[in-house]
Chains A and B, each alone.
Chain A
Amino acid sequence: MRNFSYQAVERVDSAVARHTEFATSAFLAGGTTLIDLIKLDVMRPEQVVDVNRLPLKRIDLLDDGRIRIGALVSNTELAHHPLIRARHPLLSAALLSGASTQLRNMATTAGNLMQRTRCAYFRDPTVPECNKREPGSGCAALTGINRLHAVLGTSEHCVATHPSDMCVALAAIEGAVEVEGPAGKREVALLDFHLLPGDTPEREHALEADELITSVVLAPHLDSAGAHYLKLRDRASYEFALASCGVILALDGQRIGQVRIALGGVATKPWRAFEAEASLVGVVPGRESFEQAARLALAHARALEHNAFKLPLARQAIVRALETALDDAQGGMSPPARSDTGAGSPAGDSP
């Protein structure tokens, strides 16, 4: 592995100050992405600023019902925290469906937001064409093996899938990312944090130079909402999603009052299906309206040579996640749909 300068810091302001000292610096938290990509020679920081000692490991309920999650809270701690299990079971289920026990123990909340794509061409520096790695070099995936690539939010420059499960749940829950940089503190809305590739696939997030994520603040949970995270993948555990769907659904009498639908495994960023949601508000829920919503969610999808299967897969995931979330909202009157390929929510998602 290429060598680098290493600094462990104890304060947020010194982390930011250290980060500015090199042109290519990287903050080290769990390391599950960073160390992997340095070994692969995909990321080549001159300096690593180890932020693991910063006091950013708390989970706090704020007066207004929001929950502030410290940047360094591990995926395991977050998934099992009583507040999260009680108010945001979608987040808990999404986290537990991701990676392995070891990786969840290491990976942090902020690090998961900064997780990078698993595109095999991005991860292999011997492939010259990757606009994320080398802007302007082209995209090998467009004409290569693209079975795992995105069908939503793609551009002619990049079709890399966003790999996170946690971020799909966050997209549904909404909230803000709190950051601190040389110019001080600011907030970025969760839905604005990840960027579409467009003409600049090397820009993946809204952070400015040397900014550090200090926390994620979750919007208040919807009262008496049902939720479900369904993840479909090539093996039953420890695998990235081919398609995943997170749903939060609240009834207003017999009709749908509020609904959020977020998708993973099919898009270049954690994806919200706003048109699909709008089609369901005020509607008496049922198979037909769910299928119509699923069609709307994928209406603008563009398949590549090997990933057209993701369109029906994602549509089916949406319908099933909606049905299961509806059951959950109705108090689990009927048993939840068995998730035969979704073993990733081992304990938390039945009502």
Chain B
Amino acid sequence: MAESSRCAVFDPREAPPSAPHLDSRTDYMLSEGDRSPPGTLRVGFTLNGHPASIDVEPNVVLLDALRDRFSLTGTHKGCDHGQCGACTVHLDGRAVNACLILAASVDGARVTTIEGLAASHEGEGLHPLQRAFHQCDAYQCGYCTSGQIMSAAALIDDERVPSDDASVREAMSGNICRCGAYKNILRAIRTARAELGVDRA
């Protein structure tokens, strides 16, 4: 792939961002007392590998709970209707739209956000996909990027999705990029897949 596809004002050889993008918190136990306040439900789940609990009103979606209550703002709100993929997180290992899931219904589940992706991977520092997106300049404004990376991480782990570009594009079609960085997103996924040694016919 031509190196000229890189952005002229951006030097991908610079050291990638690190610490601020990693989820270093361990205390997600936000609920207090023995019972949840009236009108709320107590929800216990695993968030980025840590035990989490929260008291939420029934109409709170997972996306808003992550951003507003847990301060995990790496998961972005785009359309808020399941049409853009910016809010993609992993629920029990599967990519889902956090905007269409009630926080109340993740009781007992395992949720991973972009902040927890690096830690979910064996090895130091960023997840290979995060590094690859950075190296390949697989974004412009960056708004959709965390959702793109979460979808890409799930598809690399999904043995039912073949490795060819057409299959990857199809599997990634739920993540819209208004900047049109698709070409480099595809390149980043190829790069990370090579590093991870996952190739499927």
Contact = CB atoms under 8 A, between A and B. Distances in A.
B112 interface: no
B82 A36 contact: yes
Given A36-B82, A346-B170, 16 more contacts: A4-B58, A4-B59, A31-B101, A32-B100, A35-B99, A36-B81, A38-B59, A50-B104, A101-B95, A102-B97, A102-B151, A103-B97, A106-B97, A344-B170, A346-B167, A346-B171
Taking residues whose C-beta sits less than 8 angstroms from the other chain, chain A's interface range is 20 to 34
A106 B100 contact: yes
Interface string B72-96: 0000000011100100100000111
Most central of A40, A99, A106 by chain B CB within 10 Å: A106
B21 interface: no
B64 to A, nearest CB: 9
Contact of B105 (A3, A8, A237, A238): A8
A310 to B, nearest CB: 23
Interface of B: 41, 57-59, 61, 80-82, 85, 88, 94-97, 99-102, 104-105, 107, 151, 154-155, 160, 162, 166-167, 169-175
Contacts of B101: 31, 35, 106
A28 B174 contact: no
A5 B39 CA distance: 8
A6 B167 CA distance: 39
A101 B173 CA distance: 8
A48 interface: yes
A3 B57 contact: yes
A329 B139 CA distance: 45
Interface of A: 1-6, 8, 28, 31-32, 35-36, 38-40, 48, 50, 52, 76, 80, 99-103, 105-106, 237-238, 343-344, 346-347
Contacts of B171: 101, 346
B151 A101 contact: yes
A6 B85 CA distance: 26
Given A102-B97, A106-B100, A80 B151 contact: no
Given A3-B57, A36-B81, A101-B151, A238 B104 contact: no
Contact of B102 (A35, A36, A237, A343): A35
A48 B107 CA distance: 16
Nearest to A96: B170
A100 B174 contact: yes
Contacts of B172: 101
B174 A99 contact: yes
B82 A103 contact: yes
B170 A32 contact: no
Nearest to A30: B100
B165 to A, nearest CB: 11
A236 to B, nearest CB: 8
Contacts of B61: 1, 35
A344 B174 CA distance: 12
A62 to B, nearest CB: 25
B57 A237 contact: no
A330 B157 CA distance: 36
Contacts of B154: 101
A80 B162 CA distance: 13
Nearest to A345: B170
14 contacts: A1-B61, A4-B59, A6-B102, A32-B100, A35-B61, A35-B100, A40-B81, A48-B102, A101-B151, A101-B154, A102-B82, A102-B88, A238-B173, A346-B167
Nearest to A237: B173
Given A3-B57, A101-B172, A105-B96, A8 B82 contact: no
A13 to B, nearest CB: 20
Given A6-B102, A28-B102, A31-B101, A343 B95 contact: no
B169 A31 contact: no
Contacts of B160: 80
B16 to A, nearest CB: 26
Contact of B81 (A3, A39, A99, A347): A39
B58 A6 contact: yes
A28 B107 CA distance: 14
